[in-house]
Amino acid sequence: MATSTTAELKTAEAVRAHYDAPHDVALGKEMKRLDGHCRAFIAATPFVVIATADASGRADASPRGDAPGFVAVRDDTTILIPDRRGNNRVDTMMNIAENPHVGLLFMVPGMNETLRVNGTATITIDPALLAPLAAQGKTPQAAIVVTVEEVYFQCGKALVRSDLWNPDRRVDRRSLPSLGRILADELNLAHGAELEKAIEDDYRTGLY
């Protein structure tokens, strides 16, 4: 394997030279449209990570999740992701308003392979598009409309190494503090117990 003469790889050329050449399959698997395999994977997906960046290039990654099928495929190049209730920071939505480029990582529990989709996004509040995305009787306030530019399946090495789906590897929830406790400590709040209860209540009643 080629090695760099410096401790940092600062150019695309240096990065490429540091690694072996990719296999032809790794290059050839990239598609411009969703095929039947991609559609089936998205239909089985309860969880997707959306990567965005603002106008200055500051990056952000945000999780989205619901019952399998919550992400809608309109056609071979168009995906709709409902924007369910959250904390109203709307970082992802603000970024898309400034910079339409997005990256999606779809995950299916039990499968080590993932699906990567890159493209451009817009935000819609069109009632006709939002209505089919309703869940638990609630229509989302908005949806992210992604136009697919690149799509391919990612091999499962990362998930195999992490053993992510192994139930025996699950962390005892009591070994780490709750979100309410964390926020109380980080924000120097005296009402940590009340904050914990508020978050738990919101998880029960505020998902949609």
Is the separation of the CB atoms in 164 and 149 below 8 Å? no
Q: Is 60 a residue whose pLDDT tops 70? A: yes
CA angle 204, 82, 95 (to 5 degrees): 105
Average pLDDT of span 3-23? 86
Domain 25-162 has CATH 2.30.110.10: yes
pLDDT digits (tens, 9 = 90+) for 123-156: 999 999 999 999 999 999 999 999 999 999 999 9
Is the separation of the CB atoms in 135 and 66 below 8 Å? yes
Average pLDDT of span 47-63? 98
Q: What are phi and psi of 11, to 5 degrees?
A: -135, 160
Q: Is 2 a residue whose pLDDT tops 70? A: no
Q: So what's the pLDDT on residue 192?
A: 82
Q: So what's the pLDDT on residue 190?
A: 87
**Percentage of residues in the chain with pLDDT exceeding 90?**
90
Instruction: Please provide the distance, in angstroms rounded to a whole number, between the alpha carbons at the two ends of the chain.
Output: 51
pLDDT digits (tens, 9 = 90+) for 188-203: 998 888 998 999 999 9
Average pLDDT of span 7-25? 93
Q: Which residue has the tokens 């150019």?
A: 11
Q: Is 5 a residue whose pLDDT tops 70? A: no
Sign, CA dihedral 200-163-47-136, equals negative
Q: So what's the pLDDT on residue 125?
A: 98
- Residue extent(s) of CATH 2.30.110.10 domains in the chain: 25-162
Is the separation of the CB atoms in 19 and 34 below 8 Å? no
Average pLDDT of span 174-190? 92
Q: Is the pTM of this model over 0.85?
A: yes
Q: So what's the pLDDT on residue 116?
A: 98
User: For residue 26, what pLDDT band results from cuts at 50, 70 and 90?
Assistant: confident
User: For residue 4, what pLDDT band results from cuts at 50, 70 and 90?
Assistant: very low
- What are 31's two structure tokens? 């598609």
